[in-house]
Amino acid sequence: MALVTPVQISTNSDRFQQLKIFDESKAGVKGLLDSGITHVPPIFLRPPEDLAVDAPLSGDTHFTVPVIELAGEHAAVVAGVRRAAETVGLFQVVNHGVAAKVVEEMVAAARGFHEAAQEVKRVYYTREKEKKVKYGSNFDLYRSKFASWRDTLFCAMAPPPLHPPDLPLLCSAQIYRDITMEYSRQVQALGSLLFALLSEALGLKSDYLESMDCAKGHSILMHYYPPCPQPHLTLGTNRHSDPGFLTILLQDHIGGLQVLYQNEWIDVPPIPGALVVNIGDMLQLLSNGQFKSVEHRVVASHKGPRVSVACFFTLDNYPSARMYGPIKELLSEDNPPVYRDTSLQDFNAHYYSKGLDGNSALKHFMLQQ
Ligand code: OGA
Ligand code: NI
């Protein structure tokens, strides 16, 4: 032991120094790549025990992620949403009402930000929680077992409504701001529609979830995954479940998103024009476990850059005293509450106190059985 301990300490402090250098560069993974690296730096390496859990894939799951046509017959749409939310917790939607042009322009604008000059981006680089617009790499950099191959621009859109001038000033500033605001409006409308369908899928009145403020706020995260020289050694995003009520994700054509279903990582293939929807931890809690907040991740790739834009329905930066627990109408003697009540602030504080790694945050809110 005497031999092992000093080595571990020196390795850890060395890692900490490397994390700090990376953080203080304010240049993200894109900056590293632009500096000409040809190997993945140590801070991004998945530890052997993490790589090992990927190994035994049986490959016999022929499961494919459901695709739901939202303009279809109402009862069939509700049934489809219910099945998907109860089983895999993640599905794609088409004919969702978000204009194809807005989707396309949103991806281009997100890419535009990440490919802007470092001087433009570094102004927004911060780890301060309260900031509404934050650029950074790995919000959990100092807490995770390894860093992910990804940079992010985070924008808390509402409430209170974000003012367009808070968004970054790019060469095509007005266009960038207009697109982000328009995407936010359209994705908010889709969120309301999905909360109505999910309410009905739980056997509740269609305005139930919205009346609990599930659609009151959202944040938009513009992710950028630079091409990776050694993709098998790291990940684009480590396995996690999402903290909020619901996430609507727009991914470009590159691919790499995977969902954990029956212990296997299943690809979520890009479908032109489709959006990915997944249940978040808070909706699993509200539904008393009926809906699944599923683990997902993004693999790194030689291909890229990959751009995705996630919309989290939750209240970041907005104080709400409302308490959330399993919905009373769903409970019975046969279905006793599994989770205790929590405020969004307490849930988020717990979620963000740890590095991304599975879906353990919800466990903390489970009642003793
Ligand atoms: C997320 C997420 C996946 C992606 O933002 O929580 O899982 O494809 N993103 O970027
Ligand atoms: Ni996610």
Closest ligand (CA of 241):
2
Model confidence at 5, pLDDT cuts 50, 70, 90, reads very low
Maximum Cα–Cα distance for the chain, whole Å?
A: 68
- Structure confidence at residue 59 (pLDDT): 60
Of 114, 132, 126, nearest to 26 (Cα)? 126
Q: Which two tokens stand for residue 178?
A: 């207009």
Q: 218 CA distance to ligand 1 centroid (A)? A: 15
Q: 238 CA distance to ligand 2 centroid (A)? A: 9
Q: 310 CA distance to ligand 1 centroid (A)? A: 6
Of 276, 280, 311, 307, nearest to 183 (Cα)? 311
Q: Whose CA is nearest to atom 10 of ligand 1?
A: 308
- State which of 267, 297, 298 you would mutate to test the pocket of ligand 1, scoring each by most atoms of that ligand within 8 A of its C-beta: 298
CB 249 near ligand 1, within 6 Å: yes
What is the average per-residue pLDDT within 185-204?
Answer: 98
Sign of the alpha-carbon dihedral angle for 268, 250, 218, 144:
positive
Residue with tokens 């927004």: 124
- Structure confidence at residue 60 (pLDDT): 62
**DSSP annotation of 244:** S
Global pTM value:
0.94
- Structure confidence at residue 11 (pLDDT): 61
What is the average per-residue pLDDT within 183-197?
Answer: 98
What is the average per-residue pLDDT within 84-112?
Answer: 97
pLDDT tens, residue by residue, 6-56: 444 456 789 999 999 999 999 999 999 999 999 999 999 999 999 988 755
Q: 8 CA distance to ligand 2 centroid (A)? A: 32
Q: Whose CA is nearest to atom 5 of ligand 1?
A: 310
pLDDT tens, residue by residue, 110-150: 999 999 999 989 999 999 988 999 999 999 999 999 999 99
- Structure confidence at residue 33 (pLDDT): 96
Task: Indicate the residue type of 352.
Answer: Y
